[in-house]
Amino acid sequence: MRNSQSACQHCHDRKRKCVYDADAAACLSCRALGRPCLARSRKRMGRPPVLQTIQGEHGLFTILRNDEGQTPIETGGMDAETSRNYVPEVMSTVSSRHSTVSLPNRSQSQPPTPKTKKAEKMRSVRGTKDLGYRAVIPANPSNVLFRVPRFAEISSIFHTTEAFFRLHRHFMLGTGFSEQFRRSVMLTLHHSPDAVTNAYAVTVAMLRSQRGSPLPVGGHGSAVNVDLASYCLATLTHRLKSVTRFQDAAVAGMLGQLMMIYDSMMQGSRIQIIIRGTLLGIKSWIPALLEEPDMVSMCLPFMLMDTVKCLIHRQVPVFRLPDTKGHLVDRYVGLMAPLLTLLYDLCVCSHRCKHKSAPKIPELNQDDPFHDIELGIASWQPTTTADVIQAHGHEDANFMLAQARLYRSAALLIIHRLRYPLGSEDAPARGIADSILDELRGLTLLSADGPTGLALDFPLLVAMLERTDCGKEVNLAFIPLRFRLQHKLQETVDFVDHVQDAYADGYQGLWIDLVKEGMLGSFVA
């Protein structure tokens, strides 16, 4: 007779003692019931594994279907109703100078963290395999407390080239950047769909609310969900504290830009905090981002804004672009990557001079600390290549050349005013200001429905301080081309008036030293 440990399946399921007669093939219970006596199948003992949704610090990611017609991957326990709230999108690829590969499938387990940054970058960007699946965009955020209207419409922005360009045209120099920037956004969306979609939702709602929507900001039925916006800012802060991979830096850069746009239309009190905080959070990953053409837009726009802010505040920017990165072409910075390096050096020199006890206006027998930097900026000439013209066209290339010339002239004018205050040596300064305003007048004729991300606030400001009336006329002509409203742009004009009043009251210092007390708003290039 068998022992009780060899119980049949029927007795084991009912927790009964299983008794066999000698040499009997069936136990007494099964024989009495007239049913076959089957041996119990061996199973893993202990707590069974539980399938969980892949949702961590990088958001929720699931796979809905396989383009190849293969068996779909498990959707992480979501029911059919939840799955219908998601919209599929083709997985984008990273175009590298060495190869073209797709981002890793987030439903797979992650390999161990590499020892070096180089190894991590190779794993994150190049060391992956394209499985042919489609990444998903959530139609609603996972937290029901933060649901906002029109998420289906938000998702359509990523799927159609026309809708994407219509939303992002204020932040691009030309139409030729649209598809590359769309790839950049899709890559960040693939890595963190919830966070990026939430940030887009509040930013798009704010853009529409500020441009004619009758709905108020905040409250029931609002076009802008302020709770969701606060949640997005908290998400950005959390991510900036935990950037450990290439994709983390890309997502943080995208979230920072979206929340900067939102805040610039809301109150504008946190613009510089967002810009510098984002750059500081991803600083160690900026060289890796600059190596990927599709990821350049995740950091270069903030580097330009930070450099401009530091120029007029006499501070030091977060990051100095290496001299070897002169080949970079960006949707917002254009051809100015080499100039950014020179402007960084100018910021450092200005910062040092500000904190020295030496006179701010050098005499003829004193060394000029700005001499070498001025020669470098004056000798720099923006150039285009055949590849740039082929990729973006002659019209976009001309816009990029004009932008670069304007920033070079503005930098030379800043250097002049770091030597002499307004009212002293005005003839050379007004000559530079006139050339800036002449070039700006030609750009005011651009179509208001086309790409208008020229980032020309800085050249216009320094020229307006020399030629106030003409500068204000050009500023008014640019209003239809900007994404910010007129009352936000009035802050720059108010600062110019503040400087003029200060000199009229006997101020004899540099106008740049009046920025801290006179520029109430946050300046955005």
pLDDT level of residue 223 (50, 70, 90 thresholds): low
**455 in a structural domain:** yes
Q: Which two tokens stand for residue 249?
A: 């830096």
Which of 283, 300, 327 corresponds to the end of one domain? 283
Same domain, 95 and 162: yes
Same structural domain for residues 74 and 17?
Answer: no
Residue 372: CB atoms within 10 A of its CB come to 11
Tell whether the model's pLDDT for residue 89 goes beyond 50: no
The average confidence (pLDDT) of the chain is 76
Strands 59-60 and 86-89: unpaired
The model's pLDDT over 368-424, given as tens digits with 9 standing for 90+, comes to 899 999 999 999 999 888 888 988 889 999 999 999 999 999 999 999 999 999 999
Contact (CB, 8 A) for 265 and 484: yes
Residue type, 507: Y
- How many C-beta atoms surround the C-beta of residue 39 within 10 A? 10
Same domain membership, residue 494 and residue 450: yes
Q: What are phi and psi of 48, to 5 degrees?
A: -70, 150
Confirm if 306 and 344 have CB atoms less than 8 A apart. Answer: no
Q: 514 lies in a domain?
A: yes
Task: Tell me, yes or no, whether 73 and 21 share the same domain.
Answer: no
With 80 as the cut, is the pLDDT of residue 239 above it? yes
The pair of three-digit structure tokens given for residue 216, joined into one six-digit string: 């108020």
Point out the least confidently predicted range of 5-19, 199-213, 487-501.
199-213
Name the least confident of 29-43, 66-80, 400-414: 66-80
| Total domains in the fold of the chain | 3
Instruction: Name the more confident of 422 and 516.
Output: 422
Euclidean distance between CA atoms 258 and 203, whole angstroms? 6
Last residue of a domain, one of 257, 283, 309: 283
pLDDT tens-place string over residues 185-195? 989 988 888 89
- Rounded Cα distance, 279 and 269, in Å: 18
Please tell me whether residues 65 and 17 are part of one structural domain.
no
Structural domain boundaries enclosing 332: 319-518
507 neighbors 514 (Cβ within 8 angstroms): yes
pLDDT at 3 over 80: no
User: Does the residue 67 lie in any domain?
Assistant: yes
- Indicate whether 198 and 337 sit together in one domain: no
Q: Tell me, yes or no, if the pTM score tops 0.85.
A: no
SS3 39: strand
List 89's β-bridge partners, or say none. Answer: 135
SS3 of residue 101 by DSSP: strand
Pairing of strands 55-56, 59-60: antiparallel
- 276 domain residue, yes or no: yes
How far is it, in rounded angstroms, from Cα 434 to Cα 438? 6
Helix, strand, or coil here: 467? coil
DSSP string for residues in 463-522? HHHHSHHHHHHHHHHHGGG-SS-HHHHHHHHHHHHHHHHHHHTT--S-GGGGHHHH--S-
Residue 17 domain flag: yes
Say if residues 297 and 332 touch (Cβ distance below 8 Å): yes
Compute how many other C-beta atoms are within 10 angstroms of the C-beta atom of residue 323: 10
Is residue 20's pLDDT more than 50? Answer: yes
Q: What is the CATH number of the domain that holds 29?
A: 4.10.240
Cα angle 51-196-147, degrees, rounded to a multiple of 5: 75
Between 484 and 433, residue with greater pLDDT: 433
- How far apart (Å, rounded) are the C-alpha atoms in residues 209 and 202? 10
Residue 10 confidence (pLDDT): 86
Q: How many CA atoms lie within 13 A of 250 on its CB side?
A: 31
More confident residue, 392 or 160: 392
Is there a domain that residue 348 lies in? Answer: yes
Q: Report the pLDDT value the prediction gives residue 275, as an integer from 0 to 100.
A: 94
**479 domain-assigned:** yes
* Residue 147 pLDDT grade (very low, low, confident, very high; cuts 50, 70, 90): very low
Exposed / middle / buried, residue 248 (Cβ in 10 Å: 0-12, 13-18, 19+):
buried
User: pLDDT by residue (tens digit) across 335-346?
Assistant: 999 999 999 999
392 and 463 share a domain? yes
Q: What is the pLDDT of residue 149?
A: 45
Asked whether 209 and 217 are in contact (CB, 8 A), the reply is: yes
Res. 62 pLDDT band, cuts 50 70 90: very low
Tell me, what amino acid is at 193? P
Distances (CA, A) of 200 to 171, 184, 225: 14, 14, 12
337 and 193 part of one domain: no
Higher pLDDT, 151 or 44: 44
Give me the residues paired with residue 88 across strands. 136
Same domain, 196 and 326: no
Q: What is the pLDDT of residues 264-313, one digit of tens each?
A: 887 767 888 999 999 999 999 999 999 998 899 999 999 999 999 999 99
State whether 357 and 339 are in the same domain.
yes
Q: In terms of pLDDT, which residue wins out, 205 or 128?
A: 205
The pLDDT value recorded for residue 206 is 85
Task: Give the side-chain half-sphere CA count within 13 A for 384.
Answer: 22
Say yes or no: 12 and 67 in one domain.
Answer: no
Question: pLDDT of 420-456, one tens digit each?
Answer: 999 999 999 999 999 999 999 998 888 878 888 888 8
**Angle, CA of 297, 298 and 302, to the nearest 5°:** 90
pLDDT at 391: 87
CB within 8 A of 498, min separation 6: which ones?
Answer: 514, 518, 519
Q: Are 83 and 43 members of one domain?
A: no
Q: Has residue 90 got a pLDDT over 50?
A: no
Q: Hey, which of 139-143, 270-274, 281-285, 476-480 has the most confident mean pLDDT?
A: 281-285
- Whether the per-residue pLDDT at 124 is higher than 70: the answer is no
Share of the chain above pLDDT 90, in %: 39
Q: Is residue 309 part of a domain?
A: no
